[in-house]
Every structure is written in structure tokens, then in C-alpha cells.
Structure 1
Amino acid sequence: MKVLFASTPATGHLNPMLAIANILIADGHEIAFLTGTVFRARVEASGARFFGLPKGADFDLRDILSVVPELKTIAPGPEWLRLACERIFVDAIPAQNQGLYESLEHFQADIIVGDDMFFGVLPMLLGSREARPPIVLCGTSFLHWARDDGAPNFLGLPPATTEEQRRQYAVIGDEYDANVDLPVLRSLNRVLKPFGVRPVTRPLFHSVIELADAYMQLSVPSFEFPRRFPSTVHFVGTPPIIRDQVPLPPWADELDGSRKVVLVTQGTVANHNFGLLIVPTLKALANEPDVLMVVTAGGRPVDAIPGPIPSNARIASYLPFEWLLPRVDVLVTNGGYGSVNQAMSFGIPLVTAGMTEDKADVNARVAWSGVGINLATNEPTSEALREAVRTVLDRPAYRMRASRMADEFTSIGTRSAVLRIIKRIAADDDDETRQAGAIETGRRSAHRQVS
């Protein structure tokens, strides 16, 4: 089977897509990737064929402020989200769609596998089913589907527990619709109009969940707010970490169990200012004799972390997570979806602090599910961080809940689930094609008989 992957040019999207591609490569399938040219070397190192996105979609979301500089002066909230959605996702649709068709000219894929924010698939999904390969999308963020309590996504609101909360959420939801979802939807349908497809009626992030032939959510049901989902949705756990991408650090032997290991990360997008989380965490835990802090700079140079580095801290630009995570006692993170799910799959409890992109909603799920503490801010104090880390380390309830979550990840069997879904969707498409061919052959035969 030939599989074309389409990935938003951001590390948090590419990493899980490459991991899923590795599952298919190991199963003997031929893989090609359409994504940003900055990721060409990583794609080709995986053994996949590379196609670069055309101009208009070929940017590097590892530095989101270089793509949309205006976001630098806008506080997290509805206006930030509206502008980010329009500039990063909606405006890129024509170029992404062009890249898909150009890739298919050179690589006749049996199926397309995309991430949940590669909206260049929308013209295909809204057009004729017979004119495209089947499309499977992967949820690399929390599940963007309407909530039963009326709360909008992206604001980090926990499930309502009272009628008063529901009334409050209804007011917030109306305001969010007016300021974010409806303006983005108008922009989306203006972009889609030249394609000659029907307009989208659901919010941008909801639309692809319902329209995809299958939607693989990269998590487990217990980490998602309970509600009814479309039949397209399948929870498949978190993809296996790609091994041997980074060598062991020179201080690897210090993780010998003599001290509690606290891993600290600001991910690969919201890490332009290490003063938000990494610096206050270093300060918070500098005097904890039983703690060894391990800090990853998310690809940035380690000397970009300002200030003195405590003696109980070890820092690297990247770290081999397949080696590191089994040795970690707590993850301190701003809430990257992939990192949070990887931590839970190893039974690691969390302390989270982040409000940008999708992080408010991811971190709300951390607190709601009981696997950690959400500080619900972009700029936590050292005092709050120390108290939260000590609480998670010292109270067994958090690790016990994270351990039960790890069991749920194990029970799913990500490799087999991914292969089963992709093969089934591809096989269903083959059946439909054969049936359509048989119908057409019958029509032609009947026409000849009449003639």
C-alpha cells in the first residue's frame, strides 16, 4: 500500500506523524511525506519520500511569531486565536491543497493520512468522494468537538458541574462564536469558494473530525471530556517514540534512582521565552536535595536559558525520551499534547502551566483527569511551581492515577489499532471502487444490448 502523509510544518505535528509512518514502514508499506521544507532531512532519514509544501504553506511553525509577527503583541485569548487560525490555517489551504495534488501526480497514494490541522484536505473532503483517495486524519491536539455543557474549546474551561456554570458557559460560548468561530468560518468559506465545494457549517476545527473517513485521536478516552463523538473517531493511544534520534547525555549515569527526576520542558513552539516556565522552575527546585532537574530546550541552544543554572539541574537541547521517560518522576510542562500523552503512557504525573495555542484545554484535562496539577497560567511563580511539584511528588494519588492511565494506553495497542484502521479504510475504498466499476460495466453492457 502507498500512503501519502500530509503534516502541518510544526514539530508537535510532524513527530507523531513520523511515528505513525514508522509503524506502516515496518509493516511493509511505501510512504511519502508532504510537509515544510525545513523538515526534509528528518523525513528522508525515516526512509520516506519527501514532497515540499508550495509557497504560501511552506513555513516553519517552530517559530510561530515569525509566521504571524502580530501575535507577539496580542495576549492569549479570542483575538489571538482568531488571527492564528486565519493566518496559519485558513490562508494556507490553497497552497496545501495544491501540494496534495502535485504529490499525488508523482506518488499515486492508496490513502492519505494527515494531521488534524492540515486543512488543505478540506476541498477534497467536501468534493466528490470518487475523485480522491480515502483520507484518515490524526488528532495531535485535544479532541476539537462540541461540548455538551456549551463551553467553547481553547479557553481551558473544565466540564460544568452546575446549572449556573452551564449558564455562564452559554454566555462565554456566544461571545466566542461571535469573536472567533464565525469570523474564521467566514474566512474559511471565502477561501473554499473557488474550489466549487459546498460551504462548511461547523467551526473550522470541528469540520474535519466529521468529514474524515476516519479520525485517529492520539490519546485515550479517559483523557477526554465525556461527550458523544462522531462515528469517525477512534482513540488509538500515543504513537511509539522514535528511537535513537539523540544520543545519551554525558550525565546519563546520574539518573540512578538516588534522586527524584523532574523533567522540565516548554516544548518546541512556545519556547521563545524560557522565563515563562523553565527559569522559574530552576529557581523553585534549586534547593531541593532529593530532586534532579532535567531540562530540555526543545531544540534551542542550551545557552538561551538565562541566569545561573543550579547544581542539581542538567540541560540539553534535545533528549532521548525513550531512555528518559522511564526514569522521570514528574513532568513540568507548558502542556504540549504529545508530551503530555507520552508522559501519561509511562505513568508520569504532571505539573502544567500554559495558556497559548491548545495548551489551556490540554492542561484543563490534566487537572480534570487527576494525573496532575494545572497552574492555569502562562507565568507561574517559583513558589507555586515548588508547591505543585512537591505535592505531586509527595502525594501518591497523582502517580496512582497516572499509572491507571498508562494501563489504558497499554490496553489499546497503538500499532495494531493504527494498522487496523488504515487498512480497513483503504480496503473499503477498494471495495467501493470495484463496485463502482462493476456498476459502470453493467451499464455499458446494457447500453450495448439496447443498441
Structure 2
Amino acid sequence: MGKHIAFLTIPAAGHLNPTLPLVAELVRRGHRVSYATGPTYRSAVEAAGATMVELDWVPRPLKVSPGGQTTADLSAMLTGYVRAARPLMPVLEKWLRDDRPDLFCYDMMTFIGSMLADKLGLPEATTVANFATNEHFDLTPSLIPADFDPGHPAFQEFLAERSAFAREFGVPVDKVAAAGAVAPLNLVFIPREFQIAGETFDERFHFVGPAIGARVPTADWEPPGSPLLFISLGTAVNDRPDFFAACTEAFAGTDWQVAMAIGDQVDVASLGELPPNFDVRPYFPQPTVLAHADAFLTHAGMNSVMESLLNQVPMATYPQTPEQQANARRVTELDLGQQLPDLTPTSLRSTVDAIVADPAIRKSLADMHAHLTTAGGPTQAADAIEAQLAL
């Protein structure tokens, strides 16, 4: 008989999209899946076969200073995260009490998940769309901006917000807005070979790798020819008209056919007259474009990195946050691409040309692709869930 598995994920593409193929596989096996997240992802959740539990949860666009994330940027993000979570707690608690799941599966970065599992005594698992954390490796230090100032007024505001949340819900203050929850079962959507300190993770962690499945619908797209360069800063931190203008200048009139996703915060008119070799839109169907791309100029969000690796597309990285910086460093360490040194047209062109021409990068991409294809994907993840349910 099928079981009830409940998912909770922050409404962010990089965290939610990797879970959808797993949801579809669980439904295919006869399980009932309910999925709590924001309204933006209703169509994708329902396409995967889950019952949508719609939350009043629409994250604010993240702001990152042009020179990189600052103390003020990080503090504003954390404060907003706590404020958004406050009204969700009673709604989620009622849902989980009224329709108690056999397994509660929450995104590792969605801190209220571990709180609810503990309060309600729910069997729990996490989904991990970035680097996993254990007793030997903690990503948190890598997420702190270089200029971090704990005395900054914005950070003090966050600390006050965090303390108020802890008092209101009777939870430990150090658990509020904390990343890196470790559950009895942790499903990690990257291969062990990409994980930092991967050899230190025990049987609680299943490195199932990425998979492509149901996604938020996007406009149809046809490949314009080759060589094809795909440019995107993802869906969360993309308010960088300077970046997109630099890319337009760098690749105008070249042999590259360019598909450039600028998000919904940048006015395309601000980029001036677009060169004929550019197709510029708010968003593209990323897996489809990457299946045809020869190079990917990316922010190095983990979901984008994994989708690039699935298609063996070399990456030129331009990270916007400390988390993306960690991903970009790993891409460089494993010889899967290079990080841009700056935004000059010469650097943009030379970096992209270099990653495409480098045979060592091609070999590393092929080797990592082999690891991805043997990781097991949603089938392995569903097997792990069913094994956990049988305990």
C-alpha cells in the first residue's frame, strides 16, 4: 500500500526543481505526495503528480551589491527569510497534524522543516540541492561575506528578528535561519564526486545526482544554430544590467549564437539595440537550451551547474553570492570550467573560448557525466525513501 509523503521546499527554482522528478517517481510507485510551497510553482508541482499545499510565500528578489554580497545584503536576506517564515508556521503545523505524513521530506535550507519535524515527532528526510553538511564538513563559513561585520545594524536587526521568532514558537534561537539540517535520511542532488569532502559522508547521505523532470512552463525555443552560448544568472540574483550589457558588447558580431536570460528585473531596453546574433528573454527552458549549448556563462547556482554537467557543457562562472562562489570554486578545482576574472569584453571572450577549446575540461566533463549517470537519480532516491519507510 502506498504511503503519504509530504514535501516542504522554499519557493526557489534551484531548490524545488530537483525534487520534482523524485516526486513523479514516488507517485508512479503508488505513493501519495503532498507538496507545500509558494503559488509560483503550482503548475510544476501538479505536473509531477503531487497535491499542492499552497502557501502565502513569494520570496522577495535578492539584492547583491555589484562587488559581491555584503554584510548588509546577507542580513537583509536572512531577516526577510525569518519574516516570511513566521506566518507559515501555524499553517504548516495544522496541515501536518490534519494529514500526518508517513515521511516529512523538507529542503535542507528550509529551516522551519526541521523545527516542525521535531515538534510533531515526524519521521523526516531532507532534500539537499547544494553541498551537504555533516560533522566533518560545514559549508556555513563559505557563506559569510568577506567583509562580514557582526556589529552592522542590518545584522543586529536580523538577530532581533531571530530572537523574536524563537520566543514566539518556543524553539532554540540557534535553529532559526540555520542551514544544514541533517536528518536520518538525506537525499543529495549532486554526485558524491562533486561534493566537497565527499568521502566523509556516511550511509545517512544518498548522493543521487540531478535529474530533469517537470519544470515551470516556459516559452518554446528552437536552437538558432551553433556555436551556441547560453548566458544566465539564474532566477534569484539577476538584477545585473551591467553584466548583461558587458556580455552584449563582448559577443556582438562574433560567431557565437547567444541565448541570454536576463530575468524579470532587468529592462531589455536598457541594453540598447540587440545584436542579430542575440536572443534575449526573461527566461529560457534551461535544460533544453543546455542540450544544444557549446558553452554556459553562469552564476554557478548548483542546479545550473548540475544541468550543465548532465549535458557536458563547459562553464564560465560569474557567481553572485558566497554559496555560488563555493560552487564556482569547485567547478574550477575539478577542471569543469573557469571563473571569470572580470567583466571586460576581452576577459569574457577569452574565458569562453578557453573553456571550449580545452581538452582537459572536455575529459573532466565526460568523467563527471559518468558519475552523474551512475548516481541513480530519482529511482535511487525513491528506493532510499521506501527503505526508510520500511524501518
Q: TM-score range by the shorter chain?
A: 0.7 to 0.9
Alignment of 1:22-171 (within 5 A): 22-54=24-56, 58-61=57-60, 63-64=61-62, 76-88=69-81, 90-127=82-119, 131-144=120-133, 152-154=141-143
Give distance in 1, aligned partners of 2:215 and 2:58. 27
If the length of structure 2 is used for normalisation, what is the TM-score?
Answer: 0.85
1:312-351 deviation per Cα after TM superposition (whole angstroms, max 9, x unaligned): 2223443334433222111101122111111012211100
Residue 371 of structure 1 aligns with which residue?
A: 336
From 335, 344, 347, the equivalent of 2:312 is 347
From 247, 255, 262, the equivalent of 1:281 is 247
Give distance in 1, aligned partners of 2:157 and 2:35. 32
Residue 214 of structure 1 aligns with which residue?
A: 185
Alignment partner of 1:423 is 2:386: yes
Q: Which structure's CA Rg is the greater one?
A: 1
Structure 1 position 40, deviation (Å): 3.1
Between structures 1 and 2, the one with greater helix share: 1
1:289-314 deviation per Cα after TM superposition (whole angstroms, max 9, x unaligned): 2x221223346788456222222222
Q: Residue type of the partner of 1:204? A: A
Q: Residue type of the partner of 1:281? A: C
From 326, 332, 336, the equivalent of 2:301 is 336
Q: Against the structure 1 CA distance between its residues 142 and 77, is the aligned structure 2 distance closer, same or farther, given a 3 Å change threshold? A: farther
If the length of structure 1 is used for normalisation, what is the TM-score?
Answer: 0.75
Alignment partner of 1:192 is 2:190: no
Instruction: Specify every segment of 5 or more residues in structure 1 that has no aligned partner in the other structure, as ranges.
Output: 66-70, 157-171, 429-451
Q: Residue type of the partner of 1:60? A: P
Q: Residue type of the partner of 1:224? A: Q
Q: Against the structure 1 CA distance between its residues 282 and 35, is the aligned structure 2 distance closer, same or farther, given a 3 Å change threshold? A: same
From 164, 179, 194, the equivalent of 1:205 is 179
Question: Does 1 or 2 have the higher relative contact order (CA < 8 Å, sep 6+)?
Answer: 2
Count of matched residue pairs: 387
- Is the 1:142–1:361 Cα contact (8 Å) retained in structure 2? no
Alignment of 1:389-408 (within 5 A): 389-408=352-371
Residue 257 of structure 2 aligns with which residue?
A: 292
Q: Residue type of the partner of 1:95? A: P
% identical equivalent positions: 21
1:134-180 deviation per Cα after TM superposition (whole angstroms, max 9, x unaligned): 22111123335577699921259xxxxxxxxxxxxxxx79x778889
Structure 1 position 77, deviation (Å): 2.7
Q: Against the structure 1 CA distance between its residues 414 and 299, is the aligned structure 2 distance closer, same or farther, given a 3 Å change threshold? A: farther
Q: Against the structure 1 CA distance between its residues 350 and 76, is the aligned structure 2 distance closer, same or farther, given a 3 Å change threshold? A: same
Give distance in 1, aligned partners of 2:41 and 2:332. 34
Instruction: Specify every segment of 5 or more residues in structure 2 that has no aligned partner in the other structure, as ranges.
Output: none
Residue 239 of structure 1 aligns with which residue?
A: 211
1:351 alignment partner, SS class: strand
Q: What RMSD in Å do the two structures reach over aligned CA positions?
A: 3.5
1:368-389 deviation per Cα after TM superposition (whole angstroms, max 9, x unaligned): 1210001266xx2222111100
Residue 315 of structure 1 aligns with which residue?
A: 280
Q: Against the structure 1 CA distance between its residues 279 and 146, is the aligned structure 2 distance closer, same or farther, given a 3 Å change threshold? A: farther
Structure 1 position 268, deviation (Å): 0.9
Give distance in 2, aligned partners of 1:224 and 1:424. 23
